[in-house]
């Protein structure tokens, strides 16, 4: 089947799990959520949510 990926943009340097991300995972049946943020390091927020520097996307890096 098709796996759905959610993308959320944050202005904070320390993105974290939020109620809106949790709701999107459950209500939309998302497999994963990528949180784009202005930091420099990629890191897991939870097992299904990953913070990714927005610069990495601009440089063509893979999101997942």
Burial 27-42 (b: 16+ CB within 10 A, else e): eeebebbbbbbebeee
pLDDT tier at 51, thresholds 50, 70, 90: very high
Instruction: Pick the more confident residue, 17 or 56.
Output: 17
**What is the pLDDT, as a whole number, of residue 1?**
58
Question: 0.75 exceeded by the pTM?
Answer: yes
**What is the pLDDT, as a whole number, of residue 63?**
75
CA quadruple 22, 25, 31, 33: dihedral sign:
negative
pLDDT tier at 23, thresholds 50, 70, 90: very high
Distance CA 35, CA 8 (A): 5
């Amino acid at each position: 089947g098709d796996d759905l990926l959610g993308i959320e943009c944050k202005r904070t340097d320390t993105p974290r799990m939020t109620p809106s991300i949790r709701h999107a995972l459950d209500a939309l049946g998302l497999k994963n959520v990528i949180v784009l943020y202005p930091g420099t390091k990629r890191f897991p927020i939870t097992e299904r949510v990953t913070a990714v520097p927005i610069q990495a996307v601009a440089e063509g890096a893979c999101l997942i």
